[in-house]
Structure 1
């Protein structure tokens, strides 16, 4: 059984794209997305609704392709691909300047307890959570609330990716301002010239679906029952990939729309492996098949959302109810000696 550096090196032969296949997947996905978006403006109502939902799902697939390009896993050093991806990053409200910086940081610090929460959902220990002020707790829980994640269009992409990056460093993230201006101006133009239904089907529904799915996948693939977090001294890259990133089983159709991002543990082990080769790697290495599994079933989604903080003593994530139970047990244990002395 390969471990550590040996396992990473064993996956290196798979970190090689098939250039023709990369172009094929990029161009077919892009063309399908353009056709789906066009259907939301040109066809009768039932087809507009279907086209709107399909557009949201195709944006997810296109985003995974964009994500792989940013990792230099596919179409590296292609000027045409760079231009397409730069435009798509602006379109999807995840411009290259902030996406690449934050996502690279996430890969280098995945599951570290005391690093900055750049590019990931913040994780507090139980002790830290109990020491927070009421305002800090509300803010922490708000970012992890199902409604906030479902509203990823506003909270994760418009505010998190674009607004916060631009206001923190205007010169470095001028493309974030450009993305916001173009998105708002485009939304107003569609609403004014084509009507509210066109705005609903062409912009609101596709972005809500795509950003909501994206925000949940990013959350659940690092916040799931069985996940492991470590302090900086006990952290290592390969264990963070295999113990702190899930394998999310999906129906083949959903795996296609999400660009195999469910093989997230393999992606974190070697981010240079193209998305279309991830199942091949999974099949080739028994070591990569012995990981924590989650899914998009309702029970698994609920299980992920229940998790709130990391408990170092129990070495697992726990929810609010368990936090209360632990606090009550501690208070009773504290009162017992006093009662005996009394």
Structure 2
């Protein structure tokens, strides 16, 4: 069984973009999004329009994963057209590439390091640090990890975290964040004036809300789950961070499609240059990757992940507050 550098090298043969397959994924997803959007407007009943609206939100998650892969240069790395299209998608999806690349690359390079989990990911405090924090620091920390913050990721993670805050910090470097906010406001205004509030709700708000909530949760649960391991700088390795600190979220074919196979997150963290459509192939062919730390979208598992708050160094476990401090 290969480990360390040998295992990473074994994944390189899969880190090859198939341009035809990548473009097919982009255009087919865009076409399905367009059909779902038209269905939210043209279907005769709200009972039919609402499922189309939800479907549109799920398809937006898929397109975001495609965008995410492009930002990693896993697909279409030399295509100027793809670069332009993906930049515009990032602005539309409230995740401008100027922000996403910086924070997400840091996350990949420092995944599971306790001292830098707050950059590009959800922060993680040890029990000792939590106990020594002020009430204000604790409130802020718990608010960032709160289920409501994740559910309302449209506002908290994307509009605020990806657009407003970066824009206020450095508008010159993060002008795409300003463009995203302006375009977003214009979309809502134009659609509401031209077609009414119900169309706005079904074609914009509900899809964005669902896509953002699911995206925010997946990003949380991929690195905040019962069997996760966090490390200080000593003892940290890239391979260890991928296999011990990144989950495999088990899903059915439908959700694997809608989430662009992002559930195979341990493989993605081992080699981010592997296109999303090849992740199941890697899982099937490399035995070393077939015993991951598993999560799922089952409601009980979701609640279990959301309950986790602090890292107990002695037990080497991520725990709910009550359990963490009952043991001290």
Instruction: Name the residue aligned to 1:24.
Output: 24
Q: Superposed, which structure 2 residues align to 1:1-342 within 5 Å?
A: 1-45=1-45, 46-115=47-116, 117-327=118-328
Moved over 3 A (4+): none
- Which sits farther off after the overlay, 284-293 or 59-68? 284-293
Find the aligned partners of 1:6 and 1:44 in 2 and give their Cα distance: 57
Find the aligned partners of 1:220 and 1:35 in 2 and give their Cα distance: 31
TM-score (norm 1): 0.93
1:313 is displaced (CA, Å) by: 0.8
Determine helix, strand or coil for the equivalent of 2:114.
coil
1:56 is displaced (CA, Å) by: 0.1
Q: What's the CA shift string for 1:106-131, capped at 9, x where partnerless?
A: 10010000126121000111000111
Determine helix, strand or coil for the equivalent of 1:232.
coil
1:323 is displaced (CA, Å) by: 2.7
TM-score (norm 2): 0.97
Q: How many residues align?
A: 327
1:167 is displaced (CA, Å) by: 1.2
Q: What's the CA shift string for 1:260-280, capped at 9, x where partnerless?
A: 000000000000000010011
Larger Cα Rg: Structure 1 or Structure 2? 1
1:146 is displaced (CA, Å) by: 1.0
Find the aligned partners of 1:311 and 1:117 in 2 and give their Cα distance: 17
1:326 is displaced (CA, Å) by: 2.7
- Which sits farther off after the overlay, 130-139 or 186-195? 186-195
Q: What's the CA shift string for 1:6-42, capped at 9, x where partnerless?
A: 0000100000021111111111001111221122223
Determine helix, strand or coil for the equivalent of 1:248.
strand
Structure 1 unaligned regions, length at least 5: 328-342
The answer to whether the 8 Å contact 2:268/2:274 transfers is yes
Determine helix, strand or coil for the equivalent of 2:260.
coil
Find the aligned partners of 2:114 and 2:30 in 1 and give their Cα distance: 38
* Residues 208/15 of structure 1: CA separation in 2 closer, same or farther (3 Å cut): same
Structure 2 unaligned regions, length at least 5: none
Determine helix, strand or coil for the equivalent of 2:116.
coil
1:258 is displaced (CA, Å) by: 0.3
Find the aligned partners of 2:60 and 2:193 in 1 and give their Cα distance: 24
Find the aligned partners of 1:44 and 1:207 in 2 and give their Cα distance: 22
